[in-house]
Amino acid sequence: MAEQRVVIGFDSSTQSTKALAVDIETGAVLGQGVAPHTVSTGAGRESDPEQWWQALGAAAAATGWADRAAAVAVAGQQHGLVTLDASGAPVRPALLWNDVRSAPQAAGLKAAIGAAELARRTGSVPTAAFTATKWAWLRAVEPAAADRVAAVRLPHDFLTEQLTGEAVTDRGDASGTGWWGPDGYDLALLDRIGLDPALLPHVLAPGTPAGAVRPGTPLRAGVPVATGTGDNMAAALGLGLRPGQPVLSLGTSGTVYAVGGTRPADPSGTVAGFADALGGWLPLACTLNCTLAVDRFAALLGRGRDEVEDGGTVVVLPYLDGERTPDLPAASGLVHGLRHDTSPGQLLQAAYDGAAHALLAALDGVLSAGGADPAGEAPLLLIGGGARGRTWQRTVLRLSGRAVQVPEAQELVALGAAAQAAALLTGEPADAVARRWRTAHGPVLEPVTKDEEALTRIGDTLRRAGALQDAPAEDR
């Protein structure tokens, strides 16, 4: 009887590290673990990278396979700025993707270089979420800390280096920095923000091993470590995503993306032109406010998540943390059209609608940017923590007008990392591994008539809110 081979995939997210031990042949999850992270709640969003490393060890141990895994890989939250000193210790807590303090630096880059030129060179117009703007913020606000930095990493890079001792990354995660393009690191842009390229990791080709687990880590020494990637790229792998298949992810943030065959370069900044973890592209739109923002409205109203009511004309823009899409980093939540007869259930449904609207409004652009037909008939894959929520499903069906498929597999980011690890051993592309595991299998919800009236109402309110933010302070 052949020996069972098992890999471990990690998902180091904003809130926790999750680990899945997966059978290479069947895709069966044989063990899993989770360990929480702490995130600051002050002026910004920061986290200590050392706790990610401790969480990775705890999550690995909880799977029961840490000492037996045949290969491993780490996927992590995109954009985070990890700064290390000459000894490899963090100079300061990592700036996370949802820290928007670098909005002035993002505006400065666009003014100095131009949105169209930035999109041409790096695929994206950087917002406050991007690593490049965070480094520019650090140089401007904490120059003494910046001067101590001997290495700059993304979260998944940091953890991979802790495992292997190798300073490497992949094209998918690197494409979310704002300083990488198809020809490699953009040296002119790095010079403008004052970052020495020698401080950055080497970008590996897809499928290249990152190294091997070194002694003294929570995992068995000597086993191969795959390159890993960013969380959205890993989820695309975990689904075995084919070109043109749209995905909507409902989590702390919301994302909509699709694998594309052509490189995106959207000068409006709505679509980020990310690379995928293989040889293609992953055009993507992202919002800061999704499930947590809606849950906050439910708590304020004293209602359960699914205690919604139809009808009413109230509009909610739940931008409780500022917003990335649309690019309104200084925004706050807005309720418009509240009337005496507006019920709490209608107000809560409006929060769902407002959270879903920005993602669905960007869907056609995401598909077009990757060379796919927006009118294609492929169902919208609904993933993330909100995907199994009845009200989220009804909302997405009503506002998209598309069929919706809900994959039965969960923890798709960790599954994507596991597929990368398995591919090192089988020689398959990582997405082919996931398709063999049938990770995207799940029920299909039939389309319903698109609620054009609600979409128009939200769009009109958003345009007024955007115009208000852009107006001089004395005119607001």
What distance in Å separates the CA atoms of residue 261 and residue 242, rounded to the nearest whole number?
Answer: 10
Give me the catalytic one of 11, 99, 231, 327.
231
* Kind and range of the H or E run holding 360: helix 344-361
Query: What is the DSSP-derived secondary structure letter of residue 41?
Result: -
What distance in Å separates the CA atoms of residue 348 and residue 165, rounded to the nearest whole number?
Answer: 48
Residue 231 among the catalytic residues: yes
Do 354 and 317 touch, CB atoms closer than 8 A?
A: yes
Do 437 and 27 touch, CB atoms closer than 8 A?
A: yes
Residue-by-residue DSSP string for 154-208:
-HHHHHHHHHHS--EEEHHHHTTSSSEETTEE-HHHHHHHT--GGGSPEEEPTT-
What distance in Å separates the CA atoms of residue 219 and residue 230, rounded to the nearest whole number?
Answer: 21
226 burial via Cβ count (<10 Å: 0-12, 13-18, 19+): buried
Residue 26 contacts by C-beta under 8 Å, 6 or more apart in sequence? Answer: 437
b/e per residue 391-426 (b: at least 16 CB within 10 A): bbbbbbbbbbebebbbbebbbbbbbbbbbbbbbbbb
Identify the bridge partners of residue 320 per DSSP, sorted by sequence position: 322
Which residues are catalytically annotated? Answer: 231
